[in-house]
């Protein structure tokens, strides 16, 4: 089969363009998904979020911030809104996400289970 000098030049050029990427890894979907540390607590005797925060502090968690509402696309971090975190003694612990707590430098999402 006859190859023109132009097609050989083109092939060498394409190979040369790809060489810088020869040792690199192509990104996969799982590279973009990370697991968030979660903490599950039982609601059994807990009446309000102040009691939950006290329990978590007793277990070595710090910076416990609980919210009266769940995260949403419009408000992904309700724990950062002081109006949603200002009265934990009046906010009942609800099933599901309640806020965040830090232990050993790791931030955990706090979930309450019935």
Spatial separation of the C-alpha atoms in residues 111 and 15, rounded to whole Å = 52
User: What region does 73 belong to: left with phi over 0, alpha with psi -120 to 50, or beta?
Assistant: alpha
Nearby residues of 40 by Cβ (< 8 Å), 6 or more positions away: 111, 112, 113
Residue range 10-49, pLDDT digits in tens: 555 555 555 555 554 555 455 556 688 999 999 887 789 9
Categorize the per-residue pLDDT at 1 as very low, low, confident or very high, splitting at 50, 70 and 90: low
Give the pairing type, strands 96-103 and 38-42.
unpaired
Q: What percent of the chain has pLDDT over 90?
A: 63
Q: Is the pTM of this model over 0.75?
A: no
Long-range contacts made by residues 33-39, C-beta under 8 angstroms, separation at least 24?
36/109, 37/106, 37/107, 37/108, 37/109, 38/108, 38/109, 38/110, 38/111, 39/101, 39/108, 39/109, 39/110, 39/111
> What pLDDT score does 35 carry?
82
Yes or no: say if 93 and 68 are a contact pair by the CB < 8 Å rule.
no
């Amino acid at each position: 089969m006859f190859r023109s000098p132009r097609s050989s030049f083109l092939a060498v050029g394409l190979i040369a363009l790809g060489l810088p990427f020869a040792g690199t890894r192509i990104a996969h979907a799982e590279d973009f998904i990370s697991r968030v540390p979660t903490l599950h607590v039982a609601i059994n005797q807990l009446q309000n979020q102040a009691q939950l925060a006290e329990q978590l502090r007793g277990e070595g968690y710090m910076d416990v911030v609980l919210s009266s509402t769940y995260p949403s696309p419009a408000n992904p971090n309700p724990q950062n809104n002081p109006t949603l975190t200002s009265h934990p003694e009046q906010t009942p612990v609800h099933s599901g996400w309640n806020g965040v707590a830090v232990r050993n430098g790791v931030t955990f999402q706090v979930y309450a289970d019935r």
